[in-house]
Amino acid sequence: KFIVVLGCVFGFEFYKKYYDEQITFKVIKTVVCISTVFMVLQRVFYYGGIVIDNPLIQFATNDAYLDGYSMESGSLFRPSAFFLEPSHLAVYSLIYLVYSLFKKDNLKQSLVVFVALLCSGSGNGLVFGIMTYCAYFLIRFRKHAAKVFVSMAAGVVAVIGMSRMTFFKQVVNRLTTENLAGGGNAIQARIGTGYQLFLEKDWWL
């Protein structure tokens, strides 16, 4: 699916009349912003004892989602706005994070995306989000060692501060432990189990 999507983007890039970069990323920005607002509301209401479900979950074609899919993984609440899972939202949002930082050089705009990644509780989204910011500051201030040091130091302080939060610890646990209470290790589920399932399929599936 990724190959098809990327193939279309790069293919249409050669035919400007079929592909408008500005319109494309305006749509992505709109989806990310609306999703972020919705997830903030999901979290606020959840802490008030009310769970707001994804209104589009009813259109899912996978039985795992139709048969009572829950946003609660153990004691960790992981909303994903209008996406089926936090990881799906993270993959979509990271595209705009990279665009806003490296193409538009808009740090404020990128923070909206990072808020979305944090609210979703996606461990992969959090890791890749932090890596993206590290790459951005290294490239942006590569000729200013002092600015790179200050930016990295601020990032380390922020991560240490977040690491004291229960929510942050639970998100990290999904990547660094077996996470039996939360449904298993997120990385193993993608690399280990996913690869095993891939090997069991015929090449055309």
What are the pLDDT digits (tens) for 47-59? 888 888 888 888 8
pLDDT for 164 beyond 80: no
First to last CA, the chain: 12
Angle between helices 86-98 and 21-47 (to 10 degrees): 140
| Residues forming beta bridges with residue 77, ordered by sequence position | 72
The amino acid sitting at 65 is Y
What is the token pair recorded at 177?
Answer: 């432990």
User: Where is average pLDDT lowest: 49-63, 93-107, 131-145, 177-191?
Assistant: 177-191
Q: What is the average pLDDT across 118-142? A: 84
Share of the chain above pLDDT 70, in %: 69
Detail the DSSP E strand segments found in 56-139: 72-73, 76-77
Calculate the dihedral angle through the C-alpha atoms of 114, 117, 120, 123, rounding to the nearest 10 degrees.
-140
> Percent of the chain at pLDDT above 90?
12
Range 85-107 average pLDDT: 89
CB pairs under 8 A, 24+ apart, for 98-107? 98/132, 99/25, 99/28, 101/132, 101/133, 101/136, 102/136, 102/139, 105/140
Is the pTM above the cut of 0.95?
no
Place of tokens 């399929």: 201
For position 125, what pLDDT does the model report? 84
Q: How confident is the model at residue 34 (pLDDT cuts 50, 70, 90)?
A: very high
